[in-house]
Amino acid sequence: MALIRFGDHIELLSKKCNIPNLSADDISGINRDKEFFEPSRQVGEDTSNYKYVPPGYFACNLMHVGRDVVLPIALNTTEKTKVLSPAYTIFKLKTEDALLSKFLFMLLKSDEKDRFFWFHCDSSVRDGMDWSAFCDIELDLPSIEIQRKYVAIYEGLLANLHSYENKLEELKLVCDGYIEDLRKKYPLKEIKNYIKLISRNNDNQLLGIEDILGVSNEKTIVPTKSNVSISDLPKFTIVKFNDFIYNPRNGVAIGLNKCKKDKLISFNNTSFIVESNDLLPDYLFIFFCRHEWDRKVRFDSWGSSTEVYSFEALSTTKIPITPIEIQNSIVEVFNVYNKRKEYVNRLKNMIKDICPILVRGAILEGRK
């Protein structure tokens, strides 16, 4: 085993792209799972100072470690140079004589390490972690041969995951191609004649705080993360199976409620239903899940700090109204896609949980 200071083994990179008009599709972000994702959720008016992340480089954001109790960090294992906002710090290992990049990444992919970084945050408004404190971290490492052994196991798991992800993307292409074909064959109609706002008040308070739902940018219905008072419950809206939920302050956040039991949404959210036999809710939801919808929302939103997207604006969405049997066929394909997507997400979580076990195994072997 060898004890090293992390900062002695890394070198920074601050290479600006110098391209002022990059779009969200050109910019990457880093999520809580320590993965790059595209397109970016936010893009500045001038992207000239956005940073390049070449293959083999790490990118991390130390500004919100305390807020999220997560170190947003990712390793670019692709052959493509990525572009991130200037908030990120870009670095790589000087050499891999004492530490492998992928072993370092395994070290960082654990809740324990995230809590460690959170504990070492400063007392600033942003509750971030200072770069010098990050560099002062000491790592007790096994030999490079042992690191390679456990990295090989990790890479085998990743290869399995990537195989499933590739098949998932192929299925997504089938869905997208099918929809584009429908758009060419059938006239596009605004959905305002097929949907209706609903407002079922929770006056009798039969539903409680544990029944409140929210909606995420990933189009999923989730338990609310907001602090709610019991006195607020009468103001909340009751939602039923197949009701749509969306946040007018963030039109990208929209979901289809598949809970069999009645639930609640806060007054910050809006709910509507499909009230026509000519349109399936699941078919409509497929259009809300497309990247084209997200771009339309961002383009049509009011230019305020909350980017308001009204129900009236949403109602102008145009989709091909096909025969019900055709709608059912694309919904079936989309449901298969979602089931496989859930499996991929479970596999990702398994790999994340396995990483600390692999690191522990390498350390124990190194101490023998």
Together in a domain, 50 and 94: yes
178 occurs within a structural domain: no
96 occurs within a structural domain: yes
pLDDT value at position 128?
Answer: 79
348 occurs within a structural domain: yes
23 occurs within a structural domain: yes
**In percent, how much of the chain has pLDDT > 70?**
94
pLDDT surpasses 60 at 305: no
What one-character-per-residue DSSP string does 323-354 give?
-HHHHHHHHHHHHHHHHHHHHHHHHHHHHHHH
| pTM assigned to the model | 0.71
Strand partners, 139: 4
pLDDT surpasses 60 at 125: no
Mean pLDDT of 125-139: 81
Mean pLDDT of the chain: 87
Together in a domain, 299 and 272: yes
Q: Which of 184-198, 219-233, 267-281, 338-352 is predicted least confidently?
A: 219-233
Query: What is the rounded CA–CA span in Å between residue 11 and residue 125?
Result: 28
pLDDT surpasses 90 at 306: no
pLDDT value at position 323?
Answer: 95
26 occurs within a structural domain: yes
**How sure is the predictor about 171, in pLDDT bands with cuts at 50, 70 and 90?**
confident
**How sure is the predictor about 131, in pLDDT bands with cuts at 50, 70 and 90?**
confident
Strand partners, 90: 13, 59
Together in a domain, 65 and 83: yes
CATH number at residue 258: 3.90.220.20
- Cβ atoms 265, 237 nearer than 8 A: yes
**How sure is the predictor about 175, in pLDDT bands with cuts at 50, 70 and 90?**
confident
Query: What is the rounded CA–CA span in Å between residue 251 and residue 149?
Result: 47
179 occurs within a structural domain: no
181 occurs within a structural domain: no
pLDDT value at position 36?
Answer: 92
176 occurs within a structural domain: no
- State pLDDT tens for residues 59-83: 999 887 877 788 889 999 999 999 9
Together in a domain, 79 and 158: no
Mean pLDDT of 351-365: 90
CB atoms within 10 A of CB 238: 20
Together in a domain, 237 and 333: no
Please state the domain count of the chain: 3
pLDDT surpasses 70 at 203: no
Antiparallel, parallel or unpaired: β 221-223 and 237-239: unpaired
pLDDT value at position 137?
Answer: 86
Domain enclosing residue 299, as ranges: 187-320
Together in a domain, 131 and 223: no
- What single-letter DSSP state applies at residue 200? -
What one-character-per-residue DSSP string does 16-71 give?
B---TT--GGG--EE-TTS-EESS-S---S--TT-EEE-TT-EEE--TTHHHHTS-
Residue 313, judged by CB atoms within 10 A of its CB (0-12, 13-18, 19+), counts as middle
Antiparallel, parallel or unpaired: β 58-60 and 221-223: unpaired
Q: Which of 53-57, 87-91, 251-255 is predicted least confidently?
A: 251-255
- Cβ atoms 107, 58 nearer than 8 A: no
Mean pLDDT of 199-216: 76
Angle between helix axes 281-288 and 144-185 (nearest 10 degrees) is: 120
pLDDT surpasses 70 at 217: yes
Together in a domain, 6 and 135: yes
